[in-house]
Amino acid sequence: METLSENTCFGGVQGVYSHASSTCKCDMTFGLFLPAEAKDGPVPVLWYLSGLTCTHENAMTKAGAQGWAAEQGIALVFPDTSPRGANVADHEDYDLGQGAGFYVNATQKPWAPHFNMWDYVAEELPALLAENFAIDMERQAITGHSMGGHGALTLAMNLPGRYRSVSAFSPISNPMGADWGRKQLSAYLGDDEAAWARHDASAMMKDSGFDGPVLIDTGANDQFMDLLRPEALAQAIAERRQQATYRLQPGYDHSYYFVSTFMEDHITFHAEALYGD
């Protein structure tokens, strides 16, 4: 693992690191904020999964999360959104290829060799963090924005007991229910829709739900509302009677102005679960 940068931030350290990923078969970069408490021992961790076209850097610099995490003594992990490099497949469309990993393990050409973001986030990167940093892997929570909200929700519901809480900002909530979402699922996973269901938050909510608290915020003026399909997830939450808070925020769109506005709420929400019994 190589240290690319480390900067003092709210009394802690905001670092950026790279490593050779065996899962994605390329070099991967991630951001990690460690609060001051990490100097004295392991701290709980909140994963932040970013959206389409983003790298590890977008949320790290725009979400305003470190100050709130420092107040709560929580580490923040900012993974990249896809494998990258000259030998990694890409696409002219923004919603496929590099920057658009969708947090799945691709089974189809040309994506299959490298696009294994599910295993990267669920297995490889946690193991790397546990080995190299003062992080308490028994106290994990997860959040994300847009494509990253989709990843946070599906990882949380597919890995019971892993995360104590899950939240999302404007998540892609029902990709199986729209032509746009079906485009990515079929490109990465093929035409067998049975393989898609575990990567659809609404389908997973109906099937298994989440064994903990859920918080979801979506801007009422989100320009991608028809692609996100929040109503499908809201209905699934209601039908399951899932422990959840689902909010439509008047006037807000899909941008990081929206994310940063409600970041304090989300970190406080996760802190309650991470420090609870």
Q: For residue 246, what are the β-bridge partners?
A: 216
Q: Which two tokens stand for residue 117?
A: 């973001």
Alpha-carbon distance of 262 to 220, in angstroms, equals 14
Among candidate residues 146, 167, 173, 202, the one labeled active-site is 146
Q: Which two tokens stand for residue 254?
A: 């899909």
Among candidate residues 56, 254, 266, 270, the one labeled active-site is 254
Find all residues with CB under 8 Å of 116, minimum gap 6, and list them: 23, 24, 83, 105, 106
Is 222 catalytic? The answer is yes
Is 254 catalytic? The answer is yes
Burial of 127 (0-12, 13-18, 19+ CB in 10 A): exposed
Alpha-carbon distance of 214 to 243, in angstroms, equals 6
Among candidate residues 80, 200, 217, 222, the one labeled active-site is 222
What 3-state DSSP class applies to 156? Answer: helix
Is 173 catalytic? The answer is no
Find all residues with CB under 8 Å of 244, minimum gap 6, and list them: 213, 214, 215, 216, 237
Provide the residue count of the chain. Answer: 277
Which active-site residues does the annotation give? 146, 222, 254
